[in-house]
Amino acid sequence: MKPIIAIVGRPNVGKSTLFNRLVGRRKAMVDDMPGVTRDRNYAEVTRFDRPFILVDTGGFEPETNDRLLQQMREQSRFAMDEADLILLVLDARSGLTPADEDVVEMLRRVDKPVFFVVNKVDGDRQENAAGDFYSIGVDRLYTVSAEHNRGIGDLMDDVMEVL
Ligand code: GDP
Ligand code: MG
């Protein structure tokens, strides 16, 4: 069995952009996987010669705030049950929101490696703002720009070490 990495977080933080960035040209959709739902996207990725399954969650925009929280709880539960490692994506441009704090709270109870990824750090200015996210009480934040391919190598080096 290949290890599973799940990408979770509220809508619009850049989960799918990160997914596409990590899948890159080596993208190979896994269609026949049991239990695949339409709001999750699976791909097989190989890094340092090691294959893993990457899962993008939350494929649709929830219409209401209740629905958003419900979707995120479902995603987080899925990630906690099925994944071997979780990437929680946060958004440096919008800052921390109550919805982020909700997921962080859920993930505190998980006995699996969780990487806290602050996305949209396109330059040094956002790098400083990203420090605010330490208020959620984590030892290590990974600042990245999925769009501009910044910080992705450092993140994945550490991910592959614990996967
Ligand atoms: P998702 O809803 O979490 O899957 O987020 P998406 O991947 O669909 O991205 C939401 C928006 O954020 C899109 O307009 C992306 O172009 C933008 N975005 C994603 N990553 C970055 C980034 O690294 N920097 C900036 N500035 N924008 C980004
Ligand atoms: Mg998405």
Per-residue confidence band for 141, with pLDDT thresholds at 50, 70 and 90: very high
pLDDT, tens digit (0-9, with 9 covering 90-100), for 41-76: 889 999 999 999 999 987 667 788 888 888 888 888
- In the chain, domain spans: 4-162
- Position 152, amino acid: I
Domain 4-162: CATH architecture, name and number where available: 3-Layer(aba) Sandwich (3.40)
What does the mean pLDDT of the chain come to? 88
Whole-complex ipTM: 0.99
Q: Comparing 151 with 69, which gets the higher pLDDT?
A: 151
- Position 76, amino acid: S
Q: What percent of the chain lies above the pLDDT cut of 90?
A: 61
**HSE-up (13 A, CA, CB side) for residue 152:** 18
Mean pLDDT on 27-52: 71
For 9, left (φ over 0), alpha (ψ -120 to 50), or beta? left
State the distance from the centre of ligand 2 to the C-alpha of 120, rounded, in angstroms. 14
State the distance from the centre of ligand 1 to the C-alpha of 120, rounded, in angstroms. 7
Q: Are 52 and 5 in contact (CB under 8 A)?
A: yes
Please tell me the predicted confidence (pLDDT) of residue 109: 87
